[in-house]
Structure 1
Amino acid sequence: MDLKTASKEIKNNNPAAIYVCYGNEKYRIREFIDFATSQLIEPEHKDFALAQYDLAETPLETVIEEAEEIPFMVPRKVMIVRDSSVLTAGKDTKIEHRIDSLLRYMEHPAEYSIIIFWVQGEKLDERKKIVKALKSSSACILPFQPMGADELLQWLIRHAKKLECECSTTAAEALVQSAGTGLGILAAEMDKLCLHAGKGGVITVEDVQHLVARSTEQNVFALVEQIAAVRLEQALTIFYDLLKQREEPIKIAALIARQFRIMLQVKELAGQNYSQQQMASQLSLHPYVVKLAGEQARKFDSQKLRSILAHLGRLDYQMKTGAIDKVLGLEMFLLRLGA
């Protein structure tokens, strides 16, 4: 079952007995859990119907006993269970868990209890008996992996609509380029933009540029973008702004090298017919980062990218050994690259 179907079933008051949420998109997991609890529990029942556990502190059998116990004064209860070792390859805690208690419960789950496992890990440990049993049962397994580039932009547009604002695709792209791909930060920035625009307002690219501060990483990305477009004056302006913010030149050089390295890796993988999602998985990057790096990489051939990385490697050594002034060294690099 996918996330869309699971959400629809919950909305229709037909939830699964057990949900297993895992992946590195913690914001979306939290969003799903909040949605599920708001749909399944009446606000006035929350004190008696919602329970939270952490398997680092509570034995699994205690959670199962609570699930089997008839709820007090409420028709249904939801149990949110954080786990970092039972369903993953994480280190075992000091607490011993009786896994058989969950295996038995899965055969006849209580109609009045819903267990939501929030797995603190990127993936489940497929070797474990309990994971295999959950996957072959009626439990709802939901992976929360990074969204694709287009999906991320649509998520931002939907988030703006929830706040009764309108956001175009170009404004959403500008926001990602300024704030990065972290959903928590993006949501907070979108809240700020919608507050500025007001209900029924429209968020523009100019609003994003004026109200959203770029991180160092995003500034470096913009700097490389200006270099790729042969806009040396704008690239130097961003560089000098970074220096005014007291960013260390060695760090700036390292981030520039990282961006060119990603561009080379994406270019080579694209040449092997890897999809955007496959490249993101292979390089442990967000798909949107891969998309933008691919667009930048088209402006360079592979040999040129290798040459730039070799130059940056020599520059890094010279800067760290004092063979060249750090600021001057970076300026010369940017001027040569722009030329």
Structure 2
Amino acid sequence: MDVKAATKAVKQGEISPVYLLYGTEKYQMNEFASFLVEQTLTQEERDFALVHYDLSDTPLQAVVEEAEMVPFMVPRKLIMVQDASVFTAGKDQSKLEHRVEALLEYMKNPADYSVLVFIVNQEKLDERKKIVKEIKTKGTLLSFMPLGSEDLLKWVSKKAKERECTLQEGAAETIVRNAGTQLQTLSAEIDKLCLYAGRGGVISVDVVEELIARSTEQNVFALVEDIANLRVDRALGIFYELLKQKEEPIKIAALIARQFRIIMQVKDLGGQSYSQQQIASQLGLHPYAVKIAGEQGRKFQAVQLKQILSRLGTLDYQMKTGAIDKVLGLELFLLRLAA
């Protein structure tokens, strides 16, 4: 079952006795957990019916005992369990003994007055474990992974619409390029933009540029984009702005090298017919970053990328040994690259 189907089922009153939420997209995972709370408990019931545990300091069998215990003054209780590493392949770092068989036994006949929600902030579960297989069969297993590039832009537009404001063409992409791909950050920036525009207001690309300050990484991302499109003046403008922000030239050079390395890797894997999602998973990147790197990669030949990385390696050595002034070295690199 996917998140959309699970959401629909909950709205229809079909509540699973056990949920296992996992993935790296914490914002959406927390959104679904909050949605479960809203749909299953009234505001008045939550003091008695909403229970939180963390398996780093509570044994799993104690959570099961809580689930088996009849709720007090409420018809149903919701038990949120964090740090559920018993479902992953990684070694449990806590010194507690978690008796997984207690949960397996509970799954045979779960209490109809309890809803267990396990939250795992990991990309993968250990599919070999019996408890994971059991939840797949008798509970609900939901994956929360980073949105694809197109889905991310749709999500941004949807969030703006929910806040009763409209994004002009190109504004959603500019928001992502400036703020990055973390949903928590994007949500906060959309709140700010819609507050500025007012109810029913329209947010333009210029407004986004004015109100959302780019991080160092996002500035380097834009700098490489300008280089790829031969916009030397803009690339140098970003570089000088980074210097004004007291960023170390060696760090800037390292981030530029990282971006060109990503471009080369994406270009290579794309040439081997890997999909955007496969490349993102293999390189540990967000699908949107893979999309942009792919677009940037089309502006360069593979041999050019190797030459650029070689020059950056030489520049790094020269800057660290004092063979060249750091600012001058980066200026010359950018000018030669554009030429």
| TM-score bin, normalised by smaller chain | over 0.9
Q: Secondary structure at the match of 1:66?
A: helix
1:22 aligned residue: 22
Q: Any conservation in 2 of the 1:153–1:169 contact (CA below 8 Å)?
A: no
Q: Secondary structure at the match of 2:141?
A: strand
Could you tell me the percent identity over the aligned residues?
61
Q: Secondary structure at the match of 2:214?
A: coil
d(CA) in 2 for partners of 1:70, 1:84: 23
Q: How far is 1:15 from its partner? A: 1.1
Letter in 2 for 1:326: K
d(CA) in 1 for partners of 2:306, 2:129: 43
1:250 aligned residue: 250
Letter in 2 for 1:75: P
d(CA) in 2 for partners of 1:166, 1:266: 33
Q: How far is 1:198 from its partner? A: 1.0
Letter in 2 for 1:76: R
Letter in 2 for 1:150: E
Q: Secondary structure at the match of 2:44?
A: helix
Q: Any conservation in 2 of the 1:49–1:71 contact (CA below 8 Å)?
A: yes
Q: Any conservation in 2 of the 1:84–1:90 contact (CA below 8 Å)?
A: no
Q: Any conservation in 1 of the 2:163–2:194 contact (CA below 8 Å)?
A: yes
d(CA) in 1 for partners of 2:4, 2:84: 25
d(CA) in 2 for partners of 1:124, 1:74: 33
Spell out the pairing of 1:193-208 with structure 2 (5 A cutoff). Answer: 193-208=193-208
Instruction: Give the TM-score of the pair, scaled to structure 1.
Output: 0.97
Q: How far is 1:73 from its partner? A: 1.2
1:95 aligned residue: 96
Q: How far is 1:167 from its partner? A: 2.2
Spell out the pairing of 1:190-339 with structure 2 (5 A cutoff). Answer: 190-339=190-339
Deviations 1:209-231 (A, max 9, x none): 00000000110111111111111
Instruction: Give the TM-score of the pair, scaled to structure 2.
Output: 0.97
Letter in 2 for 1:129: K
2:125 aligned residue: 124
2:9 aligned residue: 9
Letter in 1 for 2:119: W
Q: Any conservation in 1 of the 2:84–2:118 contact (CA below 8 Å)?
A: no
Q: Secondary structure at the match of 2:87?
A: coil
Q: How far is 1:84 from its partner? A: 4.2
1:74 aligned residue: 74
Q: Any conservation in 2 of the 1:84–1:121 contact (CA below 8 Å)?
A: no
Letter in 2 for 1:112: Y
d(CA) in 2 for partners of 1:27, 1:169: 26
Q: How far is 1:127 from its partner? A: 3.0
Deviations 1:166-195 (A, max 9, x none): 224511100000011111111111110111
Structure 2 unmatched runs, 5+: none
1:33 aligned residue: 33
RMSD: 1.1
Structure 1 unmatched runs, 5+: none
Q: Any conservation in 1 of the 2:49–2:74 contact (CA below 8 Å)?
A: yes
d(CA) in 1 for partners of 2:169, 2:41: 35
2:157 aligned residue: 157
Q: How far is 1:328 from its partner? A: 0.6
Quickly say closer, same or farther: Cα 1:279–1:169, change in 2 above 3 A: farther
Q: How far is 1:206 from its partner? A: 1.2
Deviations 1:145-183 (A, max 9, x none): 111001011111111122122224511100000011111
Letter in 1 for 2:220: V
d(CA) in 2 for partners of 1:83, 1:170: 39
